[in-house]
Amino acid sequence: LKAIKPEIEKLSKELDELIKKQDEYAKEVKEKYAEIQRLIEEETKKRDRVREKIDDALDKYPKLSYKDKDYRQKRKVIDEQIEALSVEGDKVTAEVNRLWELSHKAQKASFSSNNPFNSQVIDLKERQGILEEPYEDLKYDAYRILAGEVESRDVGLRADMTLAERREVEPYSLEGFKEDEVIVSFDNTAKVISKDRSKIERTTDPRPKETYQSFAVKLKDGKIVTGRSHTEAVKDVPLDKLDGAVDGMITSEGKFTTRPIDK
């Protein structure tokens, strides 16, 4: 456990940093896309203004008269004006088109599926999962050794119970029986049965004097944690806090009550 935990913590920090970079990248490309859209809007307005000026210049042609002695000069001015505006319009149009291409690329990059940090995050999560699974198993085994509590050693014995039964039924007793020789089942009474089911060795009254609400474990610092089983109660508890933990139950009055622990 001591060897695995630092590695898990190291991976967790690396994962946090990668996720931060992942978020920063997503924010950056979205901001870039928004800025390009703003520039497109500006350039489009500029292009429209140029086109309006060209239209205004074209409107001057019908007003020219051949009889006017300055006709050629006036027409030349209009021609040059339209030509200049056309060149400017072409440049603005080219810029709008260029920005649209950038916009498409930025939009594509902004899709979460295209985040370049995705594969690294997935890889780290897989590595973290590979380490955490045996870590949780080892932690569970360590709890079994420290607590020595029968129910925590074999949660499967109570797998067929409903949640209501788990809250109401007093922990079974294996006093006088070897743990590896018996199975336990519940109906109206708790039964300790031989493994071949040929004989009921002992029948006990499962109903306690008080109604129990949940399984509980009292840690060495005095804190009480609860769960649907003692194992679940200590699932996220640091190992050093389990040393000397006392198994018990929480009653309907909210009282923590202990019971003998089978060694």
What is the per-residue pLDDT for 33? Answer: 87
Residue 200 has phi, psi (to 5 degrees) of -85, 115
Spell out the residues 6+ positions from residue 224 whose beta carbon is closer than 8 angstroms to its own: 216, 217, 218, 250, 256
Q: Where are the alpha helices (DSSP H) in the chain?
A: 4-58, 71-110, 118-147, 150-153, 163-168, 230-233
**pTM of the predicted protein model:** 0.39
DSSP secondary structure of 110-178: HSGGG-TTHHHHHHHHHHHHHHHHHHHHHHHHHHHHHH--HHHH-GGGGTT--HHHHHHSPPP--TTS-
Average pLDDT over residues 43-48: 91
Q: What confidence tens digit (pLDDT) does each residue in 82-101 have?
A: 899 899 989 999 999 999 99
Query: Cα separation of 209 and 65, whole Å?
Result: 116
What is the per-residue pLDDT for 260? Answer: 38
- Residue 209 DSSP class: S
Burial bucket for residue 43 (CB in 10 Å: 0-12, 13-18, 19+): buried
Q: How confident is the model at residue 220 (pLDDT cuts 50, 70, 90)?
A: confident
Say if CB 217 and CB 246 are below 8 A apart.
yes
What is the per-residue pLDDT for 107? Answer: 83
Indicate whether 27 pLDDT > 80: yes
Indicate whether 17 pLDDT > 70: yes
Winning range, highest mean pLDDT, from 32-36, 166-170, 178-182, 239-243: 32-36
Winning range, highest mean pLDDT, from 21-35, 157-171, 230-244: 21-35
Query: Cα separation of 218 and 98, whole Å?
Result: 68
Query: Cα separation of 30 and 98, whole Å?
Result: 18
Indicate whether 256 pLDDT > 60: yes
Q: What confidence tens digit (pLDDT) does each residue in 2-15 have?
A: 556 677 778 888 88
Per-residue burial over 170-187, b if 16 or more Cβ lie within 10 Å, else e, is bbbbbeeeeeeebebbbe
Average pLDDT over residues 107-122: 78
Indicate whether 64 pLDDT > 70: yes
Query: Cα separation of 174 and 153, whole Å?
Result: 13
Residue type, 31: E
Q: Is the dihedral of CA 245, 246, 249, 253 positive or negative?
A: negative
Q: What confidence tens digit (pLDDT) does each residue in 178-206 have?
A: 545 544 444 334 444 444 444 444 444 44
What is the per-residue pLDDT for 41? Answer: 92
What is the per-residue pLDDT for 63? Answer: 81
Average pLDDT over residues 132-140: 58
Q: In what order do the strands lie in the sheet with 200-204?
A: 182-186, 190-194, 200-204
Q: How confident is the model at residue 138 (pLDDT cuts 50, 70, 90)?
A: low
User: Which of 123-132, 139-148, 236-245 is the least confident region?
Assistant: 139-148
Indicate whether 18 pLDDT > 80: yes
